[in-house]
Structure 1
Amino acid sequence: MPPFSADQPRTILIASSTAYDAAALRLMLARHHFEVLMVSRGDEALAAARKAPIALVLLDVALAGSAGLELCARLQQASQQPLPVFLLSTHPSEEERARASEAGAAAYLPMNLPVDDVAEKILLYLQAISPAPALAGMPTMATLEVNYHTILAGSPDAILLIQRGSNLILDVNRRARQMFGMTEAEMLQSDLLSLCPPTQPDGRPSADVFTTDLEQVMSGEAQVFELDMRHSSGRALACELRMVPLTTQDHRLMHVRIVDVTPRKLAAQLRDGKNALLEMIARGAPLPTMLDKLVRLIEAQLDGGHCTVMLLAADGVTVRSAAGPSMPQDYLRSLNGLPIGPAAGSCGTAMYRKETVIVSDILHDPLWEPYRQAALHHGLRACWSTPILLDQDTVLGSFAMYYKEVRAPTDEDRRLIHTATHLAGIAIARTRREDELRRHREHLEELVSARTAELRQAKEEVEHANEELTTALDNLGRTQEELVRRDKLAALGALVAGVAHELNTPIGNSLTMAGSMSERTAALRRDLDNGLRRSALKEYLDQAAAADEVVLRNLNRAAALVADFKRIAVDGGGGQRGRFALGDVVAELLQSVQGELRQRGLELIEDVEHWLEMDSYPGPLSQVLHHLIENSLVHGFDARRHGGIGSITLSAHDSGNGEIAITLSDTGAGIAAEHLPRIYDPFFTTRLGVGGFGLGLYITHNIVTGVLGGRIEAASTPGQGASFMLRLPKVAPL
């Protein structure tokens, strides 16, 4: 191949039926002013070779034809000048290599050969670069230890081997070539300082900084340093260098591991910039200042990108430029007043659609038809825009990224756009709210003056109404006191009537029997004066015994009634307060009633959290539960009506709000709906005359609401049973 000249073709043609990383190859060759054209069929490759000069062809063996690889020769014939062809094989073999050589291929390469190696072979073949010369007295791969080079080549870090003093690069691994975007031949013809800008961020020359770092390494003071370097494209790289000296008998070398910390520093800059911007928003800085800072913050994260913020006017149709410090100002001015729409470039379309619009190539995208020439005039080739939304339906503006080359956004680009849009939305919304508040403040005095007069009149009316209300409340209070007094008298009257009714029967029976025996005693005395017969005495004794039994039974009934009446007025004195486990109280209670339940053939189901602890009155609590069980037995499971089949369930659980819920339910006869409102009334019973006094639930209600400080609720479905729920505080009131 003759030496490379400026008038030679600059297009590299790739013809492959499988996916190939043309973008990476394009990036590697762009520095040497080569373009990359990709086709997927053999006829397209022939058409491209006939249409314009081609510098070199990368041809997939799968497209090259049959065993003779005819397409290779046809491409060379179609070109008007010598055309080298590199054959790429997915399954390379020596037999195929021989056929490639016979077909006139300039090189035979594996399809999976790394792109940077392919680029180097192309540039070397076209003599766009020169092979690294062997330097006299310098170590080469032949003189280096094989193990070191193997380790260096396989390391995931970017590693250079340099000569101390001259800083010449003697060996480099693939990761380092990728980091700097250079081929191995290029890097081996340079030194470490050529990979750095002339000066560091602090203004010192890079050579002085590196020399100082090297001296510290050699003195053992440190091994890790930060140094700004640069990509072959000119992009800055913030790097961390870890250097280890390697000294042999003939050479003084330095092993340099390079870590690109640019992403970490950019992330820190973005975080600090976001915080500073949020502080500006909180202080109420002017909107143009905030948007300008936002755009500069995002542009600092990009590699050659330019950003703008457009605002949607109050009419909801036209736009105006709000920020774009690195963009051509006459271009931004030309956008002012343009309408949004379905084909209004990237920004106008994004605001119209309320969704992100990605245009990777302005030259060929129909959305840019009206504005294509203006963009191309300033070298703009790609534009990605995201709408700035206040809510789902309200558009505030748009944030856009421009590039001067055809380009699609990466995940990092999308993340930055999202961050910028979010911050811009906060700033714009805050400014709009402040403007709205300013307008409200200006109008507020007028509203206050008008409202003050209304309030003054309303105040007078309220004062007059308040006087009437006070009088009404006084009257209501007196009426309420009178009603309470009457209710107390009525309740006392009902209680006295109930007590009198219940005691009247046993006492009346006793008096009747005592009167009858008094008459028989008088008759016995008369018989005694006239001569008492033995049969008459025996008859009297029999009557006396029967009368004693009746009187004793009725007096015992009266005594039991009086004992029940004494328990009505519960004041808490009947039980001792203390801390106890609910399970202990329940266990003792169930032991006392278990026998009667078994005798009646009833099942007792227990679902109690025994570990629940209470600070209350165990005695009154046990009395309440006993009353409820007794109520179920007497009223729910009357043997004459129920047949002794059913169950009683006692459950207790922590309600989670400082209360314990205790429920006792049965499957008995239930309570009629018309009786439910009266079950806690004294002397109300449905078994009057057959052992029921109507005081059990009344006493139970008083204990629960008084001593235990809780609530009791009843529910029932006639024929299916009844349920009583107690809600008791864990700590009873004092």
Structure 2
Amino acid sequence: MQHGVAPHLPDAYNAAIDGVEIGPAAGSCGTAMHERAPVIAEDIESDPRWADYRDLARSHGLRACWSVPIFDSNDEVLGTFALYHEQPTAPTEKERTLIDQARSLAGVAIERHRTAETLRDREQRVEALYDAMSILTQSETPHELAEVLLDLVTDTLDYPVCAVRYVEDNRLVPTVASPPGREILGPHADCAVDGPHAAAEAFRTGTTLHYNDAAEADGIDAPSPLQSVAHVPLGPYGSLSVGMTESGSIPPFDVRLLDVLAQNAESVLRRIDHEQELVDAKETAEKMSRLKSAFLANISHEIRTPLTSILGFAEAIGGEVEGARRVEEVDLASLARFSSLIEQSGQRLMDTLTGVLNLSKLQTGEMTLDLEPVDLAAEAAAAAHEFAPQADGAGVALELTEEDTAVWARADRSGVQIVLRNLLSNAIKYTEEGGTVWIRARTDGEHAVLEVEDTGIGMDPNTADVLFEAFKQASEGIGREYEGTGLGLTVTKEVLDQMDGAVAVETEQGEGSRFTVWLPRAAEEGEEPERGTSGS
């Protein structure tokens, strides 16, 4: 009990009864509140309900006390209205009527006062929240928003226990938590989205869960010192959790404020997502623009250069033939040299178009791959034989390291040849005269492995990751040192992806490179083929 208005009672008496616990023997007022009924103590000296407070009353000259409970419109006890007397006495019927009327008026007055205070408090909270909401809308990252959200709940709404969780890998992971919350609950652990945690349930259902009493079934995750909690969903992003250690300390109005706050936070998170999508789209567009520029620069060079050679040598042949009066005057050696150069330029054109078409077919799913046992050792030997003339012409030694047994991989034979041709072509192209290129086939656990190593120019290891992007070379454009579209390694990676394989490069500037290819190992040659396509 706490005294409200008692102008005629001694201050010492008021101070003595402040804080007395309500119960069946708590004088007239405490007992009236407990029993929700009038308590008329005509003589305090003999009334058993005053046994513990009789000496206190006597010391202040109080001999009788009539007390009636005051109720609000919901029939909840607000307090008591009491009359004290200096002599033992009982109320008359008229006095009882007056007391009852006073009790009713007091109930109305107290309830109106409390309602006004509640409205003022709510108005202040709404205004403070509205003023602070602008800070929320200025958040630029989800983590920054979580920090602002935490401050709004703890400082503006005055709930010290608060945590914000975001969804990561199908789990609700605590992003920020208030210091009092960490002190009371310890470290906040993440929880499965489909698990029993109340925050997860609020997230799954999209509905705020509010419990004002720990005794409510499954309301509060046990064990927990919290008695009141509210878990508010943040749309598809996560949840906001608020708790108090006292029962009934999160009123419904504040839960609605938390709902409004969470809805605004969700809107900001959607805006952040949208802005990030725009940034990603811009970066993608810029990357595609750079790729287009690289493509145009490379492809124009790779088409114009051989075409210029073909036209020039064809014109030279024509001039040679037209200038001769008899067949015997035609320089056959020159014709042979010109026709050979035309063939080389034509092959370069064909390689360029083949690379573009292969990449297009792989990326659109038009190239079908039959996955079956393929002997990588045999394919490596065939590729070495095919590229031996090119290596000899470049003054490069091509060495094949052969296994005593077959190296069976689950792959597509034509796909393996595409990989080997691209890797060997690059190795010979980028290896200077007098250098060496090795080709190896071996097994490594559950994988069949191909290696192509060279003593060529190599490159900076920090730039090796971009090698497998389309149109990427050590040099690009019409001023580059080496010919080629920059598609070979891109096609190689695409083919290997379709065969459940992988490729990696080890390189060092001026020392050479080694490309390693891993493919699933096939158990035996008779393994049933599996139809694969180049779709992603």
How does the TM-score come out when normalised to structure 1? 0.31
For the pair shown, which has the larger CA radius of gyration, 1 or 2?
A: 1
How does the TM-score come out when normalised to structure 2? 0.40
Q: Which has the higher contact order (CA 8 A, sep 6+)?
A: 2
